[in-house]
Structure formats: structure tokens, C-alpha cells
Amino acid sequence: MESSRNLFGLTAQAKARLLEKLAAARPGAAASEPEVVGDTGGGRLAITELDGYRELRVIAEAGDYLGIANPFFRMHEGIAGAETVIGNRTYLNFASYNYIGLNGDPRIAAAAKAAIDRYGTSVSASRPVSGERPIHRELEAALARLHGTEDAVVLVGGHSTNVTVIGHLLGRNDVIVHDSLIHNSIVQGAILSGARRVPFPHLDHAAADRLLGQARGRHGHALLVIEGHYSMDGDVPDLAAFVAIARKHRAWLMVDEAHALGVLGTRGFGSAERAGVDPREVDIWMGTLSKSLVSCGGYIAGSRDLIEYLKHMAPGFVFSVGMAPAAAATSLAALDILEREPERVAAVNARAALFLRLVREGGLDVGGSVGAAIVPVITGSSIRAGRLAHALFERGINVQPILYPAVPERAARLRFFLTAAHSEDQVRQAAAILLDEHRKVMAEPTDMIALTRHLGRRMTEAE
């Protein structure tokens, strides 16, 4: 596996040589200064000594050499919807989680403003202390109703929700079995817990069954974790199969619905609705408020006992300020619109299915995407992904490349997010431009030897 994750396709040896040069070239270091592991001498420890920082410099130098502009941290002006304005130019926008098109909806803005007028911009304390507000409980009741559970709890961050809940629910005598492509937040939570972590091949429920069965008897509690809709690939698990595995091995089943809510199922209620599974069969539903619900934060929905435990014991809830009133009101209003306007869900799925069909017919690799809001275009190298994103940006399309190390080098890709706000004409236009530019980029060779030599010279010059 490691051989497939080499930077820009460089061999491990070439990458190591470049990093060695970066180590010698860190700012403030003399050219002859030796690299001492565990040096406890005086002076200031520089961030530039980190391997990750050195690798960032290699990527930046490679981008400059190849003429690929940095696609990250671009400044958007105004509301980013189906279109966005960057540098006074309007672009077709496929880099937004605004799945059902509610960002900027006047009803959403009015709800947020009303909450600020009533409660202020902050609740100014953790909820157990004095930060509890009616808007919190109204949002939690709405989330519980949507997921068919007894209760729910909202937290201020989506990533931190997984970290604090998994990190505190499990301990060193427990086991966590998860999809190999699970989100970073779940991995970080598992590491924090100290539990044994066992990944299974992507979507392979038979392997999950076998691995959980092998590990279960040697551990106390067990957690089986999957996503309802995988954000990098746009594919979905066999939810019923994973429910059966969890029951078979007396494990909790947790499903991350961050990219499923508002997208999967005829009403957008998520993976249980799409699969026809009783949502009460899932022990822990997790989701975020920043995608279809156009706010910020995370939530857990489940049994009353689970929610009571988390509200009193999860550090990320107990020791964190309560959700801002405007954020809670925004998501509550978005949930109401989602329930009353299912045509938004139909629209996002129709646009995504059209885009998927057009680019697949054009011969592009879209992996296992089911055509529900997320469609990856796999290029097979970070250089090609960067070049393609740059070419599309030049032609008025904003889409982000996903590069190593976020994915293995051979899995580098562009990731298109389709929304209900996109028109059919915009989708067809984007697909046509993508196919045209993809053909050009794939025909453009990259001299890896020349690139490696250039990077080596640049690192040497910096010494």
C-alpha cells in the first residue's frame, strides 16, 4: 500500500532524498549543521523541522515548476452557490456542500437573525453550566424525529463530534472496526480512545464480519463504524448487512451521515431511508450541520440513554461552549424546509445522475459513485489532478483536486459536488469542458526525471 502513496509518483528513494535536502535547507540553519535526532540543546524549535512541512515545500515547488496554481484558500466573494465569484470573475462552482441549495435562502437568514435578536451571538457558556437555550432542544428534537430515534445532541463541530464521542465511548480494552476509507475524524477519535483499531477493505461487509468476529472475544466493547455516503467516492454501503453484523457480534453500529442527510432517500432522510432499514437498528447516528443544513456543527442521534451519557460525559460537549443561537436556528429552519420541499432532494440527485452519466459515457473514471451529489473524477496522479483543476479554473469552473496524501497517489482525483441549485445547462456545460480538458491533460506527458532534478536543485539553492 505504501508504494502507491509516494509523492507525485516519485519513488520512495527520490522522495527521501528531497526531504533530506529540505532538512538541510530549513530557514536559519547553517548548511553544515548536522541533523540531530532528539537534540535537547538550547534554542528555538522550528516548525520547519517537521517532515510534513518539508513535504509541503516539495509540493509547492513542484506546482510552481509545472505551472499549476495553488487551488486552495481561494477567496470567494459573496454567497457561493451554483456560481461563485473569485477575483471579480464568476465561476461555475462544484466545490460546495450546499447540496439542497439552501445557503443564502432568505428564510434561513431570517431564522438566524431572529435567533440573534432573541439570544445574542453566543450562549457564552457550556450548556451544562448556563448555555442551555430552547433553540438547542428544538433542533435536537427535530434531528431525533428525522432519524427515528429517541433523542439527539448537537455539538459545535462536525470533526470534533466524532473525535470526542468515539474517543470517550471506547477505551483501551475495546475494539473499533471501521471501513478503510473512513473519515479522518473517526480515525482520530479511535486513536484518542486507545481502543484497538481494525480497518476492513472499503465496503466489504464480509471482511468486516470476519475481522470483527476474530477480534470480538478478546475485547470488552466493540464499535463498527461506516459512512452512509462516502465523501471521497460518492458510494454507499449495504446498510442492512452491517446492521446484521453488529447484531451478530453484539457491537454498536455507528453511521456517519455527514454527506447522506439531504441527499439519500426520496425525502433526503439519509441512508436508512435509501436502504429501507429501520433507523432504530443503528445504535449511533452521526451527522454534520454544515452540508445540507447550511450551518456549522455536528450531532449524535440515538437512544435516550446514549444521549444522556454523552451530555454528561463527552468532553467535547461538557467542556465546550454551546452552539451559537444563529447556527442552531439555521439548521432548524433548514430541516423544516427539507421536510416540506422534497423536490430539492430530487433535484440534487437528478443533477448528479446527469453529470455522472455524461462523464462516464465520455470514458472518465468515476469510481463507484452512485450519482448522489458526489462524483469523483479519478486521474491516477496528483500532477494530472492539479493540471486538470487548473485548466478547468482557467475556463470558469471551480472544482477542487484531491491530492496525495489525502488519498493514495494513484487515487488522486477531482471531486465534483452537485447541488439542487445547479441547472441542467450548467451541468452539461461543465461536463463538456471537463471532457475536453481531461483529454488534453492526459495527453500531456510529465518528465519525472526533470521534475526530480529541478526539485533537487531548488532545495540545494535554499541551503
What amino acid positions are annotated as catalytic residues? 231, 259, 291
| Cα gap 315→55, rounded to integer Å | 33
Among residues 249, 310, 261, the alpha carbon closest in space to that of 284 is found at 310
Picking from 305, 322, 308, 243, the residue whose alpha carbon sits closest to that of residue 277 is 243
Chain centre to alpha carbon of residue 202? 16
Cell match 455527514: residue?
Answer: 258
Query: Residue 238 in contact with residue 204, Cβ under 8 Å?
Result: no
Task: Provide the angle, in degrees to the nearest 10, between the axes of the packed helices 158-169 and 304-313.
Answer: 100
Distance CA 216, CA 251 (A): 8
Please state, in angstroms and rounded to a whole number, the distance separating the CA atoms of residues 241 and 205: 7
Grid cell, residue 302, equals 440515538
Q: Tell me the sheet residues that pair with 4.
A: none
Position of cell 470534533? 160
All residues at 6 or more sequence positions from 278 whose CB lies less than 8 Å from its CB, including other chains: 148, 272
Q: Of 84, 118, 40, 14, nearest to 393 (Cα)?
A: 84
* Nearest Cα residue to 455 out of 50, 73, 9, 30: 9
Query: From CA 381, how far away is CA 191, in angstroms rounded?
Result: 29
| Nearest to 23, CA basis, from 39, 11, 10 | 39
d(CA 182, CA 199): 9
30 CB contacts (<8 Å, ≥6 apart)?
Answer: none
